[in-house]
Structure 1
Amino acid sequence: MAEISRSALVMHSAQAMYDLVNDVASYPQFMDGCAGVEIFEHNDHSMLARLDLKKAGVQISFVTRNSLDAPHQIEMQLQDGPFKMFKGLWLFKPLADNACKVSLHLEFEFSRTGLGLAGSTLFAGVANNLVDSLCQRADKILLESNND
């Protein structure tokens, strides 16, 4: 089983960062390795979505049900995909009105040995860059909107 934990301190509110993370449909626009997204269900408390990851000839698609607790956390549970086990948690801890700590913790294990190493490498790479990508997107979108 692999575990990934990443966090960042950002000069944006917890609500703003929560909204960016929860905007899964926009991931292909800025997340390296995200080839597509399909949202099956979405309301204030949950989301069911498929993420398609593709890089260096390796492709992974998986579906998670995300439990939404705005603006505090997003908990991800595997519904379908090549994982034996997958769970994830985004946390948004307010530090001030316009500052927060964003944390991502993932635990996963692939079920198929053939996809194991290549899939783990792809998934770990995307996950490792996800927090940085979201912070860069927040700076771009939120700072630009504040300058208008």
Structure 2
Amino acid sequence: MPTHAERRLIAYAPEQLFDLVADVGKYPQFLPWCAAARVRTRTATELVADLTIGFGPFRETFTSRVDLEHPTRIRVRYEKGPFRYLNNVWTFMPDARGCQVDFFVDFEFRSRLLQAAIGVVFNEAVRLMVSAFIRRARDIYGAPVTDKTLAQPTNAQPAGTGGA
């Protein structure tokens, strides 16, 4: 029932962002509410993982099968846990300024209590999660390259100094 779709233009390469999202085992290091992650199996095109999410007094573990279409799409298929259903898709499209990221999530908990608890903070929680991936990109890859950075020569002389 809670559904969230978001599009962001991020100044990193699609491959970089894809790799961050696909690195499920590292989620507890930077994602809010991700208490634990265990990758059960992984191939080049698919992984199966258990994630434990925690917020307030709630802590739940679920299993997902994740389809990896490097570097353009990641699709999460729910297998087992506290949800009635969970649909999650990330797409990464090249853009002259970096990467256009589309994020979609739709889910419903089996428990009405959990559903009510997350419903209150859902949109903000998802925004924080997407922002956490952007911060992680900065931590791993450094500051994004901007047009201003690209426009400056690496050995430029200050104006009026008569350079070589």
More strand by percentage: 1
SS in 1 for 2:108: strand
1:42 is aligned to 42
SS in 2 for 1:32: coil
CA separation in 1, counterparts of 2:29 and 2:129? 12
1:6: how far off? 2.1
CA separation in 2, counterparts of 1:34 and 1:2? 18
CA RMSD of aligned residues (A): 1.9
Counting only pairs closer than 5 Å after superposition, residues 59-138 of structure 1 correspond to structure 2 as 59-96=59-96, 99-121=98-120, 125-138=124-137
1:11: how far off? 1.0
1:56: how far off? 1.2
1:65: how far off? 0.4
Aligned pair count reads 144
CA separation in 2, counterparts of 1:49 and 1:123? 22
CA separation in 2, counterparts of 1:93 and 1:19? 14
Say if 1:56 and 1:36 are closer, same or farther in 2 by CA, change over 3 A: same
SS in 2 for 1:44: coil
CA separation in 2, counterparts of 1:53 and 1:125? 16
Q: Which has the higher contact order (CA 8 A, sep 6+)?
A: 1
CA separation in 1, counterparts of 2:140 and 2:93? 20
Percent sequence identity over aligned pairs:
27
SS in 1 for 2:132: helix
1:1-43, Cα deviation, whole Å (9 max, x unpaired): 1101123211110000000110111111111111000111111
Gap regions ≥5 residues in structure 2? 146-164
1:17 is aligned to 17
Say if 1:82 and 1:120 are closer, same or farther in 2 by CA, change over 3 A: farther
Q: Are the aligned partners of 1:58 and 1:119 in contact in 2 as well (CA < 8 Å)?
A: no
CA separation in 2, counterparts of 1:25 and 1:82? 20
CA separation in 2, counterparts of 1:124 and 1:42? 30
Q: Are the aligned partners of 2:2 and 2:122 in contact in 1 as well (CA < 8 Å)?
A: no
CA separation in 1, counterparts of 2:6 and 2:34? 18
2:142 is aligned to 143
1:128: how far off? 2.8
TM-score in terms of structure 2 length: 0.80
1:126: how far off? 3.8
1:28 is aligned to 28
Structure number with bigger Rg:
2
